[in-house]
Amino acid sequence: MSGLRRLLGALAVLPALALAAPAQGSLTPVSGPHPAGPSLAGALSGVVTVSEKQIAVTVSYSGANDEAWARSVLGGVDSGLPALVKATGYPYPGPGSIRIDQRTEEDIHGYAGSAACNISYCRIRLTTTSGELTLLHELAHLWTQPFEKRWLSEGYAEYASMEAAALLGLTSKPVFAGYGVGTPSIPLSEWDHPINLLTAGGEEIVAEYEGYDYSYQLFLLLEDAAGAENLTAANAILFSEQTPYTVGSRLYMDTLEDVSGVNLDDVFVRWVLGDGTAALVAQRREARDRLASLRAQAEPLGLAVNESIQEHIEKWEFDEALDILARNEANLAAYAEMTAALDGLRPEIERAGLPYPRAFDEAAETWDFGDIRDALPDARAAVEAYEEAKRVAEADRGLWRQAGLLLRSPEGKLQHAADNFAAGLFGQSVEDSHAAQGMVEGAGHAALIRVLVALALLGSAGVAGLIWLLREEPLVSDQSPR
Residues 433 and 418: beta-carbon distance below 8 Å: no
220 found inside a domain? yes
pLDDT at 190: 96
464 found inside a domain? no
Please say which residue of 242, 272, 302 terminates a domain: 272
194 found inside a domain? yes
| pTM exceeds 0.85 for this model | no
Are both 267 and 279 inside the same structural domain?
no
Counting Cβ atoms within 10 Å, is residue 106 exposed (0-12), middle (13-18) or buried (19+)? exposed
Are both 251 and 356 inside the same structural domain?
no
- Vertex 289 angle, CA 285 and 294, to 5°: 150
pLDDT at 457: 63
Report the CATH number at residue 44. Answer: 1.10.390.10
Q: What are the tens digits of pLDDT across the range 423-447?
A: 999 999 999 888 877 676 654 444 4
The alpha carbon dihedral of 119, 122, 123, 125 has a sign of positive
pLDDT at 337: 84
Are both 203 and 263 inside the same structural domain?
yes
The kind and range of the H/E element at 343 are: helix 335-352
Are both 440 and 396 inside the same structural domain?
yes
Are both 281 and 409 inside the same structural domain?
no
Q: Which domain holds residue 120?
A: 5-272
pLDDT at 465: 56
Residues 177 and 119: beta-carbon distance below 8 Å: no
53 found inside a domain? yes
Q: State the distance between the two ends of the chain, measured CA to CA, in whole angstroms.
A: 152
pLDDT at 293: 97
pLDDT at 10: 27
Are both 36 and 113 inside the same structural domain?
yes
What is the identity of the amino acid at 78? D
284 found inside a domain? yes
DSSP state letter for 43: E
Q: What are the tens digits of pLDDT across the range 168-197?
A: 999 998 888 776 678 999 999 999 999 999
Rounded distance, CA 366 to CA 339, Å? 15
Residues 444 and 418: beta-carbon distance below 8 Å: no
Report how many domains make up the chain. 3
Rounded distance, CA 428 to CA 135, Å? 78
476 found inside a domain? no
Are both 371 and 297 inside the same structural domain?
no
Are both 315 and 218 inside the same structural domain?
no
pLDDT at 409: 65
Rounded distance, CA 377 to CA 342, Å? 11
Are both 179 and 54 inside the same structural domain?
yes
Are both 98 and 199 inside the same structural domain?
yes
Are both 309 and 340 inside the same structural domain?
no
Rounded distance, CA 348 to CA 346, Å? 5
364 found inside a domain? yes
Are both 258 and 300 inside the same structural domain?
no
450 found inside a domain? no
pLDDT at 448: 47
pLDDT tens track, the chain, 482 positions: 443 332 333 222 222 222 222 333 334 444 444 444 456 779 999 999 999 999 999 999 998 889 999 999 999 999 999 999 999 999 999 999 999 999 999 999 999 999 999 999 999 999 999 999 999 999 999 999 999 999 999 999 999 999 999 999 999 988 887 766 789 999 999 999 999 999 999 999 999 999 999 999 999 999 999 999 999 999 999 999 888 899 999 999 999 999 999 999 999 999 999 999 999 999 999 999 999 999 999 999 888 999 999 999 999 999 999 999 999 999 898 888 888 888 889 999 999 999 999 988 888 778 888 888 889 999 999 999 999 888 877 765 545 454 444 445 677 778 999 999 999 999 999 998 888 776 766 544 444 454 555 556 666 555 555 555 555 555 444 444 44
